[in-house]
Amino acid sequence: MEMFNPPHPGAIIREEFLKPLGLTVTDTAKGLGVTRKALSDLLNGHSGVSPEMAVRLEKAGWLKADHWLRLQMQCDLWEAKQHAGKLRVAPFPVAVHA
């Protein structure tokens, strides 16, 4: 089932992990081994969860890496579909397999 405007993974990290644990962006970035800017960009939806970041989040104990990547893909796909009407694509015939 397609979700309507799925939350960005950064918002989930901020609301479900940082806030309840009382973690600052600076302390969390240090714990994850990333720059404060990189984490801030993710939390504010300016960047997405990369495979490397997904592994870092998993190692921190915050869900499995594949879960983070699926959340990011859902968010990216929803965004792309919002602009699908502007895409000009020529239809191709469908191959018939015997």
One digit per residue, the tens of pLDDT, for the chain of length 98 reads 566 899 999 999 999 999 999 999 999 999 999 999 999 999 999 999 999 999 999 999 999 999 999 999 999 999 999 999 999 999 999 988 86
State how far the Cα of 44 lies from the Cα of 24, in Å rounded to an integer: 14
| Residue-range domain boundaries for the chain | 9-86
9-86 in CATH: which number? 1.10.260.40
Determine if the pTM surpasses 0.95.
no
